[in-house]
Structure 1
């Protein structure tokens, strides 16, 4: 009712009669409200970064007044981001309808609790693995710069932020964590797509040699021997040869004889994420397999044709053969024997007796050669013959030697290879004009041809007979002394001086005193003492030829008799005599012959 109020006064009497009058009454409120304030308060900024104070911000803030219709005002009425996280003194004024006021100051902490925005912060990205197969991101890789209601946000981290191994190729959800200036956290999600766009690191040889198989003439290769290095961060799915004309892929390439020389081949490496690398290798296809030939036997032998000193090959028996197909045919066979009608065969070729070395060369289409040498031996198996041989010969020894000089014509021989009028070799006996010994000597001449055939033999005998008497030679005279027994044995050696025979040893030497009975010795005795005895020496050679000579032997007895006398002795005189009759033993005498003692 504050303000002017119209008041009607009605007066009624007891009889219900009434009357009215009107008056304006001014009602005034002059009593100020009573404000009760809290000691402090906290308010939170709105998502827009402001806060307008209102009564509800101050729990415990109350006011009483006699009248209703209180009005509150706050100074400052609004706080902003710059006030965030600070205490602001808020003056609260309460006014009633009559303009009566009361106020207080409340320390108010301004709190920013609004998280940074999500929209527009995170964005998807695509990254690549590095050379080692790893990938990583930073927070700013997936964040856009967006302001918070209270300023720029600060990026904290992003998780996950690293990937190892190419199994991680593809999409990954990451969470970005960031905050505003007042420490309010927020997260958002982004898709990180990891790609592997690195080509394989492929290095190949510039050139390579391919040796064709020795049997098939073809060789199949793969890429392993052509690649120097191959690396990929995510691994290799496959390596192939690629035909650059057709694009066809293959694990192997086969080269054959038609590919001899330089060829180009392309190698394609594909990693597990379809990245491709190429390299080109120059392939030099080589046939280094020499032809295989059969030269056996390396030594071939054939006898010479009859009557001649050589052999003419009627067929191909001396030719060599290609034992198996060459890997890159054809194969040409040639030899170096100039006497053959053709350089490809020895048919019709004439070979002399002896050893001929024929060199063969087998050459294939690639120029590979195989050499072998065949030793062809033509043997001369035809023995030589004797064309002139002497007959047996008989001769007598000479007077001064036990042999005879014999002359004869030297035998001659002929051979199909060595010729005619050939002189042989004396293998037994003696040459003509030389002395042959006593007896029969077989003279053998032989001829062996240069091929070792033979020998052809010429044999005859030379018989030398001994018809010459030996020569007996005696002492002219010889004196002997009888021994103590009155005897002396004259031996052959006492009479023989130098008896000899033209044929050497005498088989018998004997002596005799009567010229009839011969023996090894002659005995003389005392009967011959002082006399001359004739001793005959007879010698005989081995062929019964004999000879005699004589020696006059003087027999002497010069042995002195041996006498032994009794010893001295003493005797007494006979009784009455001035002497004694003495008896003693006669002296003892010995001699080789008869004697007289006086």
Structure 2
């Protein structure tokens, strides 16, 4: 603190009063009514602010007093105002000093105080700092940026040289002087090395959603223009801002899969900022196809074939879908025999996995070059029909036939007649399909001859003259029917022999006359060829006996009462009679056509009114059974053994 020295003389009256006070003592009663007397009261005073910036007033600085009762040390001083601060620098303050003794007596004086600050600021700079330009590409340095440490009692102002920087200073190091000046003009200076950088990222805007159509190449390189990218930066011109896109391209693998794309803007200082856009990749390019103008298909043995789309295509490609994964649609996917002979116009549609399609047309011609398959039997034997012909059909000769399409079977001849009887006829069987493919085979038709080898009349070995319904039959050996049978009595008709039934059949009944019978049979086959036989017998007049009884005739017994079944017979037949008649039956004789006895059957073996007779031991042919009663009455029945 600096004090000004003022040389002045106390007034005479004040000096006298002080001397009188010092010579006096306090009243004996203890009552002090005398105020202190200022021994010093400077009219002016200069206060120099300390480092705290506050000057506190105290006794003795510019005023002091004495008192008659209170010691100098015990006097109490107060000041109004009690202090001055930086705010008072440069102005004069009227300060009143109040002094009080122990009895409360007060005195005051005034001093004009002048406030000064003569202390320079104490500042310290960082050795180096890094400052970044703002979004406008500039920066104005301030003390806070430079990290200045200050010890100052009053207000400071700073002068930073240089203080303004812009984009042109990026990357440079500049020594900056900081001059600190307080309000009294006291100065201090320090320096720091300032590095100018740009840490302000660019601004970038892009559309949130983008749809991209793939070209024929199947790939698109992503460009900022696709996303309407707008960039700005504090230092770097838009044209110099580097824009990268991740991923940088899209292809077929991204079709219809929403893809998040990051667009990154990088300024020349390396600062980055991103925006994001969702990309929907769409494939609208149809496949490229080149078709044949016509294809010819040869049907396989199955008669049906699927048309292969790849056989139609000369070339096929797509920007995204591999040929094996393309969808192929044919308006006629399958051909069969119905297409033979026609030319069809077919559409081929090829579509990719995105549904884009291309269409071409071609002519389809279906051919069949596969001959039918034909197998014939070696030969067949046939019999002519009753009309002397036989209509031949392929079924007689063909064991198997097949073709991939429809076919017709033809024969070298369709009928055989009596002219072919007994001959081997060579046949050609031809199968031809509807495309003209043919297959042939041969077979032999054996036309069996209907002409019998021989005919033979069978009749009784003896006949009683006058007997009735004598059975005769003819056996035909070989050949086949139908036959025409013509019976004729060559000799005996005038003597009473006559054919009573069976004319035109194999079996006839004759009534006997007298003497000799000469009988002829003519058998004519269906082709008109004839065979004949003759039978001659002489009747006997020795009386009627069993040999004279005709077929299904009886002697004194009604034949209608007797039943024989089944007839023809295989293993046994039954003779059935009314039960009351059955009791009178004795024996049943089985004889052949030569009237030879085969066996005798006793009616005691009957079952109620039925007698079973076995024929297992008999050969095939015509037989008679003669039934004799206990009264010697006779019934004859004819049967055929199969």
Using structure 2 for the length normalisation, give the TM-score: 0.42
- Larger helix fraction of residues: 2
